[in-house]
Amino acid sequence: MKKAIVIGSTSGIGRSLAEVLINNGYTVGVTGRREVILKSIHKQYADKIFFKHMDVQDWASIDSICNELVDNLGGLDLLVISAGIGEENKSLDFNVEHNVINTNILGFTCIADWGVNYFKHQGHGHLVNISSIAGIRGNGLAPSYNASKAYQINYLEGLRLNANHSSPSIYITDVRPGFVDTAMAKGDGLFWVAPVEKAADQIYAAIKRKENVVYVTKRWRFIGYLLKVIPYALLKRL
Ligand SMILES: NC(=O)c1ccc[n+]([C@@H]2O[C@H](COP(=O)([O-])OP(=O)(O)OC[C@H]3O[C@@H](n4cnc5c(N)ncnc54)[C@H](OP(=O)(O)O)[C@@H]3O)[C@@H](O)[C@H]2O)c1
């Protein structure tokens, strides 16, 4: 039986993907800060689930929590990082930016490094991170969110190059969603908002294909391409 950990699985994409994994025969370690939800997921899936409270901003505790979950699971094939936050912050309140950086950059890096080192040690494994199409260009309303996702995209490529030196059997998948119908997708002007179940199914398909980079849903690849090529003069009118 395959074993996975999903970091940030109390809601949204992480929770839905954890359920897809369970329904496809995985045993899953789930984490988040909301213990009530972790317990209710455990009640629902019993022996298919282990859970641990984890705040990804508490960097000192991350290695030991991940190691405990691996002991519970009896190994690890797949590590998914779906913990993330995003805030509109037009006034550039540094506290907001700091919180996003602590979660999406420092927390992400700490978990991703633990995962790649674990997989390098065992010679195989698969790291998946939910970045965002937002990481392709800057955003005046949520500058730290887009910048943090740009960091993740670049860091994942670095990890892929790093891991390839150790073993060709370590895979790194960068999932770049557009809009997905979760608590995070808020604000005006949203379009092509995908049901979270559809996003989770497409992410699971990409995991099976061991893709390097995947846009979710598929049509967002087109927007990703446009974002890469449109000049700044056009971007500032959007
Ligand atoms: N929804 C979209 O349209 C969209 C688009 C592009 C990318 N994404 C990315 O997808 C990922 C998942 O977001 P979502 O849409 O599924 O939103 P969500 O429903 O708000 O889920 C966020 C998850 O992250 C966890 N989390 C947040 N801060 C945490 C912390 N400090 N420590 C531990 N866990 C933490 C939350 O758990 P607790 O609150 O229990 O800690 C929750 O399980 C994020 O990285 C987001 O940037 C989402």
> Which residue owns the Cα nearest ligand 1 atom 8?
132
SS3 content of the chain, % helix, strand, coil (to 5): 55, 15, 30
pLDDT digit string, tens, across residues 3-53:
999 999 999 999 999 999 999 999 999 999 999 999 999 999 999 999 999
Task: Compute the chain's Rg from CA coordinates.
Answer: 17
Tell me the average pLDDT across 86-94: 96
Residue 160 pLDDT level (bands cut at 50, 70, 90): very high
pLDDT more than 70, % of the chain: 100
Separation of 91 CA from ligand 1 center, angstroms? Answer: 23
**What are the structural domains, with CATH classification, of the chain?**
3-235 (3.40.50.720)
> SS3 of 24, please?
coil
What is the spatial distance between Cα 45 and Cα 40, in angstroms, rounded to a whole number? 9
Mutate to test the pocket of ligand 1, among 5, 6, 9, 10 (most ligand atoms within 8 A of CB): 10
What is residue 238's predicted lDDT score, i.e. its pLDDT?
83
